Structure 1
Amino acid sequence: MKPVLGKISSLLLGTTLITSALAATDGELAKVMKDRGLSEIDVVRAAKTYNPTGVKDKYVVFSSGGQSGQMLVYGVPSMRLLKYIAVFTPEPWQGYGYDKDSLEILRQGNIRGREINWGDTHHPALSETDGKYDGKWLVINDKANPRIAVIDLEDFETKQIVPNPVFKSEHGGAFFTPNSDHILEAAQYAAPFDNEYHPIEDYKETYRGGVTVWKFDSKIGRIIPKDSFTLELPPYMQDLSDSGKGISDGWGFTNSFNTEMYTGGIEVGMPPNEAGMSRNDTDFLHVYNWKKLYELSKDPKNVKIVNDHKIIPIEIAVKNDALFLIPEPKSPHGVDVDPTGQYLVVCGKLDTHASVYDFKKIQKLISNKEYAGKDPFGIPILDMKKSLHGQLELGLGPLHNQYSPVDGEIYTSLYVDSQVVKWNFKELKVLDKENVHYNIGHLAGMEGKSADPQGEYIIALNKLSIDRFQNVGPLHPQNHQLIDISGKTMDLLVDMPLPLGEPHQAVAIRAEKLHPHVRYEMGTNTKTGEQHIGKTLAGQERIERNGNHVTVYATLVRSHINPERITVNKGDKVTIHMTNLERAQDETHGFTVDNFDVHASLEPGETSTIEFNADIEGVFPYYCTEFCSALHLEMMGYLMVKDPNKKYESAQKIKMQTMTPEQLKAEYDKTVAVNAATDSVIQSVVKFLKDNKFGDHKVVADLVTDALDQYGKIPEQKKLSDEAVKAGDMEKAILFENMIWQLMVKTADVGIRAKDTLVRLIATKQSDAAARGEKTFAEGGCNGCHVIGKVSSGPDLTGVLQRHENGEKWVADFILDPEKMYGEPYVKGMIDYFNLKMPNQHMSQEETKDIIEYLKWIDENANLF
């Protein structure tokens, strides 16, 4: 039976909280609950996962994207999706696979010279220091095309893809060793290591499994293939793995299925694989000393070379006491080492029990050479009972495990029962069960596979969602469910549909451990971390031709691409290096040329390259694909491809004189006047920033630097305008003055953002009521007419509480029922002046009180608006 007292306590607490909330909101919450059919505990669960705007999650989850070949990133407890990480599959938004630099990463994953443009991502792993997640690197495997990818957590981008040179499939990757000096990757379906044909009748002789021990340089975040090796294993189907830690550091553990070495053959009348591969009562857990094997791999006498890769044969591993087998429940699907490194938990899909192995017992058996026998390949077998700490019946279909900070506490998924079971692996006692929806596979605890599990939450990664979400056709989303494990019993909080592939496994880390960039050093090649060969600064833009190869050095900044015209010949190879000159964070620019299937995403400071053959004639717009400013649509240019073998007849040029010289002069004077007025606004903002010591606040100083960068370009444009006036070319002078205006608009845009940011940093802290009032002011539409500090469609409300006798009551009455006051002389004067009546926004008494508190806060900080 499931414990009940804890659930009742939670419900009582929830009812108490809701009762208090109802009293505080005059029944509004009760109305929402009634309208939506919500119970008290529903609202408590919602509150546990709700993040108000601007509030960030405590944990970040990295989930595999399954057949999408990507990864997904989301927060806990909000379960808000934050990012897709492009890994093995082209991803257009980020330009991954569409620009030259990311395509080079994708092409690292080619196998036997063949392009592979999809993957089946399965098991992500976070880099570790002393067995604890350090937030530096993330790796993920590809089951379909045996590869490992490395992702840099300073910018969440894939930096390396390494194909396995001898495996034909793999499932047991990727697993870091405790100090991230190696990564374990186990094969899945046995196959010959070489690339030649071998008949299935030679299965036992020529087909093999294995574990690759990849050398990893944690300083640069790269796998070093030449220092890596593969341990040859029998043609049992290897499955998941884990690396030892603590007392088991230096050892690896990989389970298996099909120790029967059955090869099927439905087409020739044999029973199917599923019958022959699950005949034995047990399969084998592989236990190997990877640290000793790594040292052995350095001696050429201990290895054979296949496909330029080192293989340690079974007999060498056995001879050096570095490889052993232990029977385990049949068809297991994971081995999980506890935070101390002493206990190993294995669950078999076709067994209702979990088996807990004790590494101290395993070590003793190995030390005493106490073997129960050998397998057909000569590998010593340790006695199962003598290796076990014990077994416990959990339910139907136990699969995967996550640990908690409570000593001996573990959580296990039950695939058939669609449950999560909480139990104690030391005392062998079931503590609690929670139903999930449906057919759970993996679990993701908060750092739950590290030496420092955090508890608090666990996520059920369910294979089916059936009736949980809106029907979107026969292909349903996957369902990740967040479970609160902070109490005595588990409580399922919220569902999260994931409609991208089959997210197979996920890992979670405290957000405080992640320190990603918000911008790059100017001219960075983000795939290498080095300066890009195409780095281009303002003033360095150019177009170079070398034979039929045209190279463009371009810059992007709000709101133009330089150059704006590129003319090439049909048949030219075109290379465009682009640098995003922005310094403000989140000012990404995209770039594409219509019809040429290229796209780049450039974050602030990044340089990226696209290449294509100009193999069709025509005029092709190029533009910034990321909405970046008010003049985003004007951020474009033209690629013009002409056929060098054709003679082009120009259309007759018709000179249009739409303006007289007097009209041109008047237009010029008007434009100059507008620029002067705009400049006065900029100077007032600059004075405010200086007076309030903007340099004391880095986030503001960065924005000011970006604004001044735009403003600094104005003198050159003014010089050109003056020269055009002197030459009598007023049309050109107006164009240059318009360019000055655009630079001023961009300067003002960033400058005002800087001012608004500074105001928030130096203003007095808002009370809770004032904060609610500001939100109500915005959501109620008040700011559609009233702009604080400015006269807009309605009067400036700074000081409004001082304009009337008993001002707070006057303002409150006007908000609650403006129609009653339309006839008052003051109100009638405002209506006549602005030609607008304030509508009734149907504010409540509480909302009105909050707005008045907000207006008080404005008056306290009137000098800032």
Structure 2
Amino acid sequence: MKRFPSKFLSVLLGTAVGATIASSATNELSKVMKERGLSEIDVVRAAKTYNPTGVKDKYVVFSSGGQSGQMIVYGVPSMRLLKYIGVFTPEPWQGYGFDEESKKVLRQGNIRGREINWGDTHHPALSETDGKYDGKWLVINDKANPRIAVIDLADFETKQIVVNPVFKSEHGGSFFTQNSEHILEAAQYAAPFDNNYHPIEEYKEAYRGGVTVWKFDPKIGRIKPKDSFTIEMPPYMQDLSDSGKGISDGWGFTNSFNTEMYTGGIEIGMPPNEAGMSRNDTDFLHVYNWKKLYELSKDAKNVKIINDHKVIPMDIAVKNDALFLIPEPKSPHGVDVDPTGQYLIVCGKLDTHASVYDFKKIKKLIKNKEYVGKDPYGIPILDMKKSLHGQVELGLGPLHNQYSPVDGEVYTSLYVDSQVVKWNFKKLKVIDKENVHYNIGHLAGMEGKTADPQGDYIIALNKLSIDRFQNVGPLHPQNHQLIDISGKTMDLLVDMPLPLGEPHQAVAIRASKLHPHVRYEMGTNTRTGEQHIGKTLAGEERIERDGKNVTVYATLVRSHINPERITVNKGDKVTIYMTNLERAQDETHGFTIDNYDLHSSLEPGKTATLKFEADIEGVFPYYCTEFCSALHLEMMGYLLVKDPNKKYESAQKLKMKSMTPEELKAEYDKTVAVNNSTDAVIQSVVKFLKDNKYQEHKVVSDLVTDAFDQYNQIPEQKKKANAALKEGDVEKAILFENMIWQLMVKTADVGIRAKDALVRVIATKQSSSAVRGETAFAEGGCNGCHVIGKVSSGPDLTGVLMRHENGVDWVSRFILSPESMYKDPYVKAMIDYFNLKMPNQHMSEEEVDDIIEYLKWVDENANLF
């Protein structure tokens, strides 16, 4: 392995920084490269996907979770997993399907009175304004149980599930129209629209396909079933769809397979479906004017009502010039409208060509009623050649497309060849190919199917990973591979195993377009966005009984659940309303009761409901399931379920030595003294914050608000402590004083974080060398003994460079070889005082130089520490 060149490192890190640190970094990087067998291009690729601590991604990807029934969220270019979203399947971490609010959403997905607790999520779609992602709503379909779910991107929670009332399966959903006023959902396997039995021999007469046009309100993010309708279509196995944009706005496009209308029958000696369903040379692209049909659906004479749902028959659509067919390559698997809305690309899995249709030509054929015939159901067929802009040979198994910001450029997945091909759909010319691993399905471009594609990256959603990752058994993860498309040729950067179902398709959006909440308004029902009926504030906690119905109004805040004891009778129906009182960001609490199969996730401000029957007797601890503070383990309580028909014998009380009154008073005085000392620290922090105008910096101001939320609870606790002391109950007074200490610790914790944040804002800017020095100070273990601004296990280092003649040289020598200076009178005095010798941390000279620069920065800002 050749030595890592300084010139290359300078390019990687930036010329100015690279010139400074190339010497030491070259040696370390060369060593790592040699040990791991890495090439220079490997390191470049790693750098392109690396996010330093605290740096966020440019794009956020929403991937279907396939058979998990969930969605997966990750960042690009880091490819770091960020979240799973519970959609069609219960998800315990989020309490989805366990608390009453989310259970109500999940139960919207019941079909014909049956609970459905799994889904096969396939095609996510982001809401659009003028054909561009607006970052407000996300929808996803369920192929196994034809449903659409709506996710609110203000909090990444599923808010609505709508069941398709006439389809028995679907694959071609979900696709927003260009202003998110409608969602297109196409059927997959043809079946009767009603719920009755129809023999397979009546396939052509009784089985149907179709496209449902769901009315969507983009202001509130909800599907409106009563304003929606389905377009009846032949039993051709409709597949994927796309909605027009620009000049094709108002039109929908859905491809199909099995125009042969073959129904198989291996069990009776017939050829299998795969043979009979791919006999024809072409299948049909469905072209329909959904906007015209939507207006027609408002008139009862144009619709049939099936399962309380409006269906526009084929003859009505044909009579109103709103439904047409165009031949397309057989067994297609997608139709993709370009950013302008003029061109449509269709790829057939069993054809090596991509077909580019021109909507202007299609509209002209429709206007002139220039048809080449009709299908068996009377739908006009347009001439394929006259509809095409052209065809180009791409390779084996072309599937899906994502567009580039470069005019005419598009990327297509090749399933059989395991490649991504870059080509120009206007010039019909192949530009570049990149191998992937293995058998790629969908592609995810950065906003690659909008009116404003970003380029930068393409993600290959590969169906197989085979030998790419550590063997974890016969069920392998699937492989998402990130490809850099910013240069002239594509460059595969990194593999990402995804171990949750089959991630079928993904969509990517600029992170800057997403603006999720960091906390809820206090007492929010997060599934409706409204105030929760069970909202409970501090001081309102209570237990109410009405016969066998017990209602608990509870709160959670670091580090206790109130109430801490709930006693009910066996057979009681228990409802617990829980409100998270935290105002600090990211202070989520969880709640579960052992043995009762319950869980809820409570983010700051959220109120949730748990309902259960106390049907087993016993003592059941409940606790916070999120590690939320240093006293997390103490954040618990007991559900006590007694049998009202039993007589219980009390256990003999243990005799314990009680403290004498004098001992109790000494304990009380000690506790109060500790509280007074802690309060003095808090007040010094408050003074610093006020003196430095903390309110001018929002991040700091929010932390101060959170700190005072804790501190302002102290007077009430002090009042209780004083009252207990006055009544002579010193033990109870100590308990309240301990509660004051808990509140003070929480206040100090947040307050010191606020101070540290303010220091970073108002301090002089660190040089690049000082930044590296602070890192070396921490990673080298210096801060294990030295705390800037405080005496800890070692002396405070503020001003250390001015304590000695030629201070920089003295400190440098001491860091490099502390043992050589143990006999120095000053050093010996420090060793005797702290009873500790400074160890040799084996710092390099470059690291020591950087630490010196960091200590100079500390001295410049000594007044802030």
TM bin (shorter chain): over 0.9
* 8 Å contact kept, 1:15–1:41: no
Partner of 1:193, secondary structure, is coil
SS at match of 1:688: helix
CA distances 1:91-144 after superposition (whole Å, capped 9, x unpaired): 111111111101111111111111111111110000000101111100000011
Q: What is the CA-CA distance between 1:724 and the residue it aligns to? A: 2.1
Quote the Cα distance in structure 1 between the aligned partners of 2:520 and 2:220.
Answer: 17
What amino acid does structure 2 have at the position aligned with 1:77?
A: P
Task: Show the counterpart of 1:283.
Answer: 283
Secondary structure of 2:93's counterpart equals coil
1:796 corresponds to: 796
2:523 matched to which residue of 1? 523
| Alpha-carbon separation, structure 2, partners of 1:159 and 1:825 | 71
Structure 1 residue 431 and structure 2 residue 425: aligned?
no
CA distance in 1 between counterparts of 2:513 and 2:731 reads 57
Change in CA separation of 1:510 and 1:779 when aligned onto 2, cut-off 3 Å: same
- Which amino acid in the other structure matches residue 112 of structure 1? R
Residues 1:31 and 2:31 are matched in the alignment? yes
CA distance in 2 between counterparts of 1:440 and 1:803 reads 65
- Map 1:499-510 onto structure 2 (within 5 A): 499-510=499-510
**Corresponding letter in the other structure for 2:11:** L
Relative to structure 1, the CA distance from residue 48 to residue 14 in structure 2 (aligned partners, 3 Å threshold; closer, same or farther) is: farther
CA contact 2:718–2:736 (8 Å) conserved in 1: yes
Q: 1:250-289 alignment to 2 at 5 Å?
A: 250-289=250-289
Give the drift of 1:176. 0.2
Residue 11 of structure 2 is matched in structure 1 by: 17
CA distance in 1, matches of 2:444, 2:352: 21
- Cα distance change on mapping 1:16 and 1:771 into 2, 3 Å: closer
| Partner SS, residue 232 of structure 2 | strand
Q: Shift of residue 725 of structure 1?
A: 2.0
Match of 2:448 in 1: 448
Query: What code does the residue aligned with 2:783 have?
Result: N
- Counterparts of 1:319 and 1:224 in 2: how far apart (Å)? 27
Q: How does 1:645-724 map to 2 (within 5 A)?
A: 645-724=645-724
Alpha-carbon distance in structure 2 between the residues aligned to 1:852 and 1:549: 68
Q: Aligned to 1:27, what secondary structure does the other structure show? A: helix
2:24 and 2:846 in contact (8 A); partners too: no
Shift of 1:214: 0.1
Task: Give 1:716 deviation, angstroms.
Answer: 2.0
Which whole-Å deviations, capped at 9, do the CAs of 1:196-219 have from their partners, x for residues lacking one?
A: 111101100100000000000000
SS, match of residue 372 in structure 1: strand
Contact 2:6 2:26 in 1 (8 A): no
Conservation of the 8 A alpha-carbon contact between 1:18 and 1:43: no
Q: Distance in 1 between matches of 2:26 and 2:386?
A: 66
Deviations 1:147-194, CA, capped at 9 Å, x for gaps: 000011111111100010010100000000000000000000000111
Partner of 1:308: 308
Which residue of structure 1 aligns with residue 579 of structure 2?
Answer: 579
Change (3 A) 1:735 1:577: same
1:353 to 2:353 alignment? yes
List alignment gaps of at least 5 residues for structure 2: none
Q: CA deviation at 1:846?
A: 1.1
| Secondary structure of the corresponding residue to residue 25 of structure 1 | helix
C-alpha contact 1:50 1:77 (8 A) present in aligned 2: yes
Following the alignment from structure 1 to structure 2, what is the Cα–Cα distance between the partners of residues 815 and 658?
Answer: 54
Is this contact kept in 2: 1:557–1:580, CA < 8 A? yes
Verify the 8 A CA contact 1:214 1:228 in the aligned structure 2: yes
Q: In structure 2, how many angstroms separate the alpha carbons of the residues matched to 1:745 and 1:823?
A: 41
Match status 1:232 vs 2:232: yes
CA shift for structure 1 position 863? 1.2
Root mean square deviation, CA, Å: 1.4
Number of equivalenced pairs: 855
Answer yes or no: is the 8 Å Cα contact 1:188–1:239 preserved in 2: yes
Task: Please show how residues 851-862 of structure 1 align to structure 2 within 5 Å.
Answer: 851-862=851-862
Q: Which moved more, 1:443-452 or 1:469-478?
A: 469-478
State the 1:526 CA deviation.
0.7
Residues 259-658 of structure 1 aligned to structure 2 (within 5 Å): 259-658=259-658
> Over residues 52-102 of structure 1, what are the superposed CA-to-partner deviations in whole Å (9 max), with x where a residue is unaligned?
111111111111111111111111111111111111111111111111101
1:6 aligned partner? none
What is aligned with 1:144?
A: 144
Shift of 1:24: 6.5
Relative to structure 1, is the Cα distance of residues 14 and 432 closer, same or farther in structure 2, using a 3 angstrom cutoff?
Answer: farther
Q: Which AA in structure 2 matches 1:332?
A: P
Structure 2 distance, partners of 1:13, 1:446, is 32
Where do residues 66-81 of structure 1 align in structure 2 (5 Å cutoff)?
Answer: 66-81=66-81
Q: What secondary structure, in the 3-state scheme, does the structure 2 residue paired with 1:411 have? A: strand
Deviates further, 641-650 or 371-380 = 641-650
2 CA distance for matches of 1:365 and 1:13? 61
CA deviation after TM superposition for structure 1 residue 777, in Å: 1.2
Q: Is the 8 A contact 1:14 1:44 kept in 2?
A: no
**SS across alignment from 2:42:** helix
Residue of structure 2 in register with 1:241 after alignment: 241
3-state SS of the aligned residue for 1:344? strand
Q: Is the 8 A contact 1:281 1:329 kept in 2?
A: yes
**1:3 aligned residue:** none
Report what 1:4 is aligned to: none
Question: In structure 2, what is the equivalent of residue 5 of structure 1?
Answer: none
In 2, Cα distance between the equivalents of 1:26 and 1:191?
66
Query: 1:38-60 CA distances to partner (integer Å, 9 max, x unpaired)?
Result: 11111111111111111111111
Q: Deviation of residue 578 (structure 1)?
A: 0.9
One-letter code of the match for 2:513? K
Conservation of the 8 A alpha-carbon contact between 2:9 and 2:26:
no
Counterparts of 2:814 and 2:218, CA distance in 1: 65
Q: Report how far residue 350 of structure 1 moved.
A: 0.2
Q: Does the 8 Å contact 2:64/2:70 carry over to 1?
A: yes
What residue number does 1:823 align with? 823
Greater alpha carbon shift after TM alignment, 220-229 vs 35-44: 35-44
- Equivalent residue for 1:734? 734
Distance 2:356 2:103 in 1: 45
Question: Aligned AA for 1:513?
Answer: K
Identical-pair percentage: 87
Runs of 5+ unmatched residues, structure 1: 1-10
Contact 2:243–2:249 (CA<8 Å) still a contact in 1? yes
Amino acid at match of 1:353: H
The one-letter code sitting in structure 2 at the alignment partner of 1:49 is: T
Once the two structures are TM-superposed, the CA of residue 23 in structure 1 deviates from its matched residue by 4.7
Q: Where in structure 2 are the equivalents of 1:58-69 lying within 5 Å?
A: 58-69=58-69
Q: 2: CA distance between counterparts of 1:218 and 1:273?
A: 41
**210-219 vs 843-852, greater mean Cα deviation:** 843-852
Contact 1:215 1:228 in 2 (8 A): yes
CA deviations 1:541-590 (Å, max 9, x no partner) are 11111111111111111111111111111111111111111111111111
Tell me which residue corresponds to 2:47.
47
Give the Cα–Cα distance (whole angstroms) in 2 for the partners of residues 719 and 76 of structure 1: 53
1:17 is matched by which residue type in structure 2?
Answer: V
For the residues of structure 1 that align with 2:852 and 2:490, how far apart are their CA atoms? 44
Q: How far, CA to CA, are the matches of 1:23 and 1:655 in structure 2?
A: 72
Contact 1:583-1:703 within 8 A present in 2 as well? no
Give the secondary-structure state (helix, strand or coil) at the position aligned to 2:149: strand
Whether contact under 8 Å (2:6, 2:23) holds in the other structure is: no
How far residue 841 of structure 1 moved from its aligned partner, in angstroms, is 1.2
The answer to whether the 8 Å contact 2:67/2:501 transfers is: yes
Q: For the residues of structure 1 that align with 2:296 and 2:215, how far apart are their CA atoms?
A: 14
Answering whether residue 182 of structure 2 is matched by residue 188 of structure 1, we say: no
**Within 2, Cα distance between the matches of 1:261 and 1:162?**
29
After TM superposition, give the deviation of residue 657 of structure 1 in Å: 2.6
Amino acid at match of 1:623: Y
Q: What is the aligned partner in structure 2 of residue 89 from structure 1?
A: 89
State the Cα distance separating 1:327 from its structure 2 match: 0.3
Supply the AA of the counterpart residue of 2:664. L
